[in-house]
Structure 1
Amino acid sequence: MFTESKFTLIVGAGPTGLTLARVLQRHGVPFRIVEQSPVPPEGSRGKGIQPRTQEVLDDLGLLPAFLETGGDYPELLIHLPDGGTMTQRMDEQHDPTPAVPYPNMLMQPQWRTAELLASGVPVEYGVGVTSLSQESVTLSTGETVTPRYVVGCDGGRSTVRKALDVPFEGESFPTEQLIIADVRVPGLSRDNWHIWPGADQRSLRLGLCPLPGTDVFQLTASPSSQSIGELVESVGLTVTDIGWTSLYRANIRMVSRYRVGNVFLAGDAAHVHSPAGGQGLNTGIQDAYNLGWKLAYEELLDTYEAERLPVAADVLGISTRLHRQASVRRDDPALRQLGVNYRGGPLSAERRESPGSVQAGDRAPGPILDLLRGPHWTLLAFHWPGDLPAATPDRHVHRITDPAVAAVYDVAEPTLFLVRPDNYIGCAASTLDDITDYFVKVK
């Protein structure tokens, strides 16, 4: 367990850095979190919260607030050149199941995602990093600090990554650009995501997506000689306010290393994606969720890169493929990130001779997320006839007798699942000795 009095320095207070801070809080790991911007981030930016990320937020006790203020993705209303319209969904709505309690993507502007994550987190705004080594970090205030670990969560232009001289490999496509802005457009229905296709009927000319809990639309458009106001006026509407604005340039890159000594990279500092499919923000949050508990079990820190780098590579491939497609549908099940797993990884021990469909390395599915919520390990005992170890504050023990839950976990014989603090199955076994041996090794 973590015994060092020195703190972890989190650089960057976007969703990745804030998630990491909250995980460290729950594990009692001291930290500081600094953010170069003098104020919290603004703008809708990445607005999709994927089903797996909702499970993370559930574990952190934040999901009710996200559900209360967010909303479902609306149906697309496509405005055709002849004045007609047609409707289309990016993905069909899915009904909750015992295995997947949150099956649909949740829309939430990124400024509010950061706001909800930041509640109770002591962010030091207006503080950046000017230099970094394995021994110390100099802050823009002139202060020099000696953290135990540093985590760069400071975005695609990461100061931390550049200081480490870690290559950011991939491609940039400077001619592929997209204007994104937060605008007010009175009189436009907020029941749909409005799309005006380009002249080829495949590209995007203009999109206006209503952001839940606001009177604002997120505008997306191909760059042109027209201003934002002129572009909106060209479809018969009027903009009364233009807020946050950004020019997105297609930049698809990732690092080959997530750790250099005592310094780690997470989120956009480690991988940048096309916005297609809503993967970037979600992958960053899950980087932090994976790393956070391991900073409380320092001997496990090498497994962060081993587990998360392959995931980022896979997700980057998905988002890049979608970036190349003209279709606006986004119904690939992989986008929900429920199938992300660490099978075969350094912390995954499948000890059964005949494992079922749920195996070591997989996310622990519902319907018992309430038993998993918190910073502890959880031992789930299905059909177990014998004694079990006593529960402790850092390892909870539950006998599962509900056949519906056993069906979700695909077990019919006496089976033990040891679930990690990040709610992935660490060990699946048929004997208690296998569980005990695993727990001793990782602890």
Structure 2
Amino acid sequence: MEQFLYYLKVSVKSIRRAPLPYVLTVLIMALGLGVFFANATFYYRLNADPLPLKSDKLFFPMMLLVPWECDDNTCKPPPVLSYANVQKLSNTDIPTAKAAMYSSDAYLRLDTKQPPLPVSVRITQRDFFRMFDVPVLHGSIWPDDSARNEIILTKALAEKLFGQSDVVGKTLLLDDKPLTVSAVLDNWQMLPRLYDANSGNHVEPVEQIYLPLETGYDMNYMSNSQSSTFDDTDYRQLSSQGRTGALHQLQYWVQLDTPAQQQAYRDFMQNLASTEKAAGRHPSIINNQLTSMRNIVAYFGGESGDIKAFALVTLLFLLVCLLNASHLSLNRYLSNQYEFSLRRALGASRWQLQQQMLADVLLLTLCCLAGALLIGLGGVQLMNYLWPVNRLFSTWDWQLLLGLLLLALSASYLVTLYPSLRASFGALNQQLKE
């Protein structure tokens, strides 16, 4: 330890002797690392697996159950389903869990004297909370999927409305319809929100309130994301026509825990399509899709090309910065070459010189890490300004910070490696002459 402290002291003296090349080296490396880290933050978050223990078991089934005829193999099933089609897809005990859902907008208030508060609504079924590991803080989830005048709030919304989180049993007005709070969710934010990947909605925050699917239809809530109708169903009459008409607005998820379940559900979908085709309700070719959660964004074409392109550009920029920093580091070592040669002449081994290099790497890493964090923070703020929709994906955690530390350490080592090897392994006589 004492020897290592000595090496650090020698490194500091070397920096003081020629501070400008060292400062330029740190600035160039910090700039490259900071810009790269700012983009890596968004790329890491957007491509993260929000349910690493379950994402390969959650599937989005889609079928070409539409009234028109399509004989082209390129015809894709619609991304949303009608209520009747969801009932057909859920008419099996193969899945461990299953839930239909859609999103909508509403106004919420405690009583008619208060101004209405606009809120986002997830209209779904009870298995939604189990499938996507939604934490419950107070109360309990609905016992079944029947219509009920009950509502589930997030903790933040409960505290905003009532000043406390434990509000189970209290009544509020959703579009002036009285509903009772049955549960309050703990702090929860799925990033990315893969259960709703249609139209790029996976980058949006989770909803503020949750309503039973049957109640949502009874209250005539339309989807605010994607809906289409293939007959004369009146979308304003969901309570009377939405369950039987060809109004498509529902997303549907199933949990299939084993390969045997997955194959059994594929067979079930194939038999269902054949039955519908034989009944004349499926004029198109059979085109079933069972897409896993990890592939759902790519299936819907929601991957951000801008983020990928910028990731490549920032990686190239980092490489250029490292090459320039290596050149500056080489000049600094060459200027101190006589000192290295003198130590070699006095009996210092090459390993001892490499230990000196490792002390230089440690100092360079610490300086670059501090600069990269400041530049990365500024880059994140700039990207939040340019792409406000990505604000949810700009947070740092210990894994990202550890990755930056390892990257800074590796970059500092690579930048310092060649100059130190040249100074340590060069011809001693030639170095002393120079």
Larger radius of gyration: 2
Structure with greater helix share of residues: 2
**Which structure would you say has the larger RCO, counting Cα contacts within 8 Å and 6 or more residues apart?**
2
TM-score, normalised relative to structure 2: 0.21
Structure with greater strand share of residues: 1
TM-score, normalised relative to structure 1: 0.20
